[in-house]
């Protein structure tokens, strides 16, 4: 078996004697304790995977059927989440060894700043370099993020007023835009503030406005994919790629929308964005198919509920969005926090990955693409990322509660 290098050994030894910050909430402390032990275990498996597979595979995404860790390259939209998890571990513990680990895995992503193959540079860069910059002030990270924002802008067509999501299916789709793309706008808002170049801001707002107009049904549920005519700029096809059906509500898509429009409101103060985020949350939590533990099935219209797999990733994303929304909707803050707390309690109690197994992932029972039977009822790195983010937001909110109304 491959000898584990000094870096991994130092993580294992140092973390065993590190002191965590006191947490007001038991769920937060328990979840971070478990996450720390799992991610330390993951680091050993990743080290072995790096030595036995394509060296371009630099970040974990999921677990294969044989129990091995699925590693991905910078071409995969999920490659920035694991470095982001490491930054969150550093933020929670102040342990310098987590910082060392985060820097190591973040540095591997440096070539991604020039990637122009899809819209997901925001996921790749903001979760990794963005958290690194926030926590360390590293000027190199700032430069990489600026170049990444410029690369993302190459996907923006001013005539369309939208960032193109994908380049495949060109025989069926002229200019596809997916609801997930709302999550990449945060990088553009940041780039505008950092550079003073309003083109970044204008692109983000135009994309959000077009999504607001064309992606949503009357009940505030969203389509997954909206396809635009490149000549007229009008939406001519509304469909799904990962949901159950074109007119169904894919659970993770609803989560992306709620989170994305919350960010857009934060950055613009446009009340239309806040209203949409509030509407999506209302759709989710008033849905008759939402289970009592608030962990949704992979699609709210899946045909065999309750005998359908749940999607922990959708729940994690929504929980994180809810904690931020509490700041902007104080009249609903108590209810939003209660829902978010219930989600985290459910995840921490009933949806953990196997301790010392499952590749070192924190949560299991997520769904990537049920339509193609891909990544069904498995751990997924982005579920873990948003779970840790939600936990930190919960802790911060409880340490600095909103004024009573």
pLDDT of 14 > 60? The answer is: no
What percentage of residues in the chain have a pLDDT greater than 90?
87
The domain limits of the chain are 6-399
Q: DSSP readout, 296-321?
A: -BSBTT-TTTTSS-B-HHHHHHHHHH
pLDDT of 387 > 60? The answer is: yes
The CA-based diameter of the chain, rounded to the nearest angstrom, is 62
Distances (CA, A) of 159 to 20, 44, 156, 187, 194: 51, 49, 9, 21, 25
120, 311, 341, 358: which is the annotated catalytic residue? 120
331 has catalytic annotation: no
- Residue 269 is predicted with a pLDDT of 98
- Residue 368 is predicted with a pLDDT of 98
Structure tokens at 211: 């999504």
Structure tokens at 45: 């498996």
pLDDT of 2 > 50? The answer is: no
Evaluate the omega torsion of the peptide bond into residue 226 and state whether it is cis, within 30 degrees of 0. no
- Distance in angstroms (rounded) separating the CA atoms of residues 264 and 145: 19
- Residue 48 is predicted with a pLDDT of 75
- Residue 170 is predicted with a pLDDT of 87
Query: For the residues 332-357, what does the mean pLDDT come to?
Result: 98
| Under 8 Å between Cβ of 240 and 225 | yes
pLDDT classification of 403: cutoffs 50, 70, 90:
low
Distances (CA, A) of 319 to 168, 275, 284, 338, 373: 32, 18, 12, 10, 26
Domain 6-399 sits in CATH 1.50.10.10:
yes
- Distance in angstroms (rounded) separating the CA atoms of residues 156 and 237: 20
Distances (CA, A) of 47 to 4, 42, 149, 214: 7, 8, 31, 45
Burial 279-314 (b: 16+ CB within 10 A, else e): bbbebbeebeebeebbbbbbbbbbeebeebbbbbbb
Neighbours of 329 (CB within 10 A): 18
190: closest CA among 156, 145, 153, 152? 145
Average pLDDT of the chain to the nearest whole number: 93
pLDDT classification of 381: cutoffs 50, 70, 90:
very high
Strands 69-72 and 59-63: antiparallel
- Residue 10 is predicted with a pLDDT of 43
pLDDT of 24 > 60? The answer is: no
Structure tokens at 108: 């591997």
| Under 8 Å between Cβ of 227 and 182 | no
DSSP E strands in 125-224: the ranges are 156-157, 162-163, 175-178
Phi, psi angle pair for 228, to nearest 5° = -110, 145
pLDDT of 120 > 70? The answer is: yes
* 400 vs 302, more confident: 302
Query: For the residues 377-398, what does the mean pLDDT come to?
Result: 98
pTM of the model: 0.93
120 has catalytic annotation: yes
180, 299, 341, 384: which is the annotated catalytic residue? 180
Query: For the residues 330-359, what does the mean pLDDT come to?
Result: 97
Distance of CA 393 to the CA centre of its chain: 14
| Under 8 Å between Cβ of 223 and 208 | no
């Amino acid at each position: 078996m491959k000898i584990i290098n000094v870096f991994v050994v130092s993580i294992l030894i140092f973390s065993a004697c590190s002191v965590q910050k006191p947490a007001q909430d038991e769920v937060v402390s328990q979840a971070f304790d478990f996450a720390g032990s799992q991610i330390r275990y993951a680091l050993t498996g990743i080290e072995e995977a790096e030595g036995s597979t394509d060296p371009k595979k630099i970040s974990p995404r999921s677990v294969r059927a044989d129990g091995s860790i699925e590693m991905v390259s910078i071409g995969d939209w999920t490659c920035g989440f694991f470095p982001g998890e490491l930054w969150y571990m550093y933020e929670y513990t102040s342990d310098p060894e987590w910082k060392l680990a985060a820097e190591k895995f973040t540095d591997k992503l440096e070539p991604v700043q020039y990637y122009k193959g899809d819209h997901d540079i925001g996921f790749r860069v903001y979760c990794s370099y963005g958290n690194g910059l926030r926590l360390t002030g590293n000027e190199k990270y700032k430069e990489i993020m600026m170049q990444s924002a410029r690369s993302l802008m190459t996907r923006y067509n001013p005539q369309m007023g939208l960032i193109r999501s994908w380049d495949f299916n060109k025989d069926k789709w002229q200019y596809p835009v997916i609801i997930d793309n709302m999550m990449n706008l945060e990088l553009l808002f940041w780039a505008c503030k950092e550079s003073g170049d309003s083109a970044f801001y204008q692109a983000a707002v135009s994309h959000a406005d077009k999504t607001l107009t064309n992606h949503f049904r009357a009940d505030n549920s969203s389509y997954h994919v909206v396809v635009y005519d490149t000549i007229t700029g009008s939406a001519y096809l509304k469909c799904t790629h990962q949901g159950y059906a074109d007119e169904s509500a894919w659970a993770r898509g609803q989560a992306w929308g709620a989170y994305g429009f919350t960010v857009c409101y934060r950055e613009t103060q446009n009340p239309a964005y806040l209203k949409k985020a509030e509407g999506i949350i209302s759709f989710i939590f008033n849905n008759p198919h939402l289970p009592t533990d608030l962990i949704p099935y992979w699609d709210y219209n899946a045909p065999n509920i309750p005998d359908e797999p749940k999607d922990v990733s959708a729940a994690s994303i929504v929980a994180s969005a809810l904690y931020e929304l509490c700041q902007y909707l104080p009249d609903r803050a108590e209810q939003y926090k209660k829902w978010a707390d219930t989600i985290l309690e459910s995840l921490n109690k009933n949806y953990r990955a196997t301790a010392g197994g499952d590749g070192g992932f924190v949560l299991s029972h997520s769904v990537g693409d049920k339509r193609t039977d891909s990544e069904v009822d498995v751990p997924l790195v982005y579920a873990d990322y948003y779970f840790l983010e939600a936990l930190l937001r919960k802790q911060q909110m409880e340490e600095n509660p909103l004024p009573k109304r």
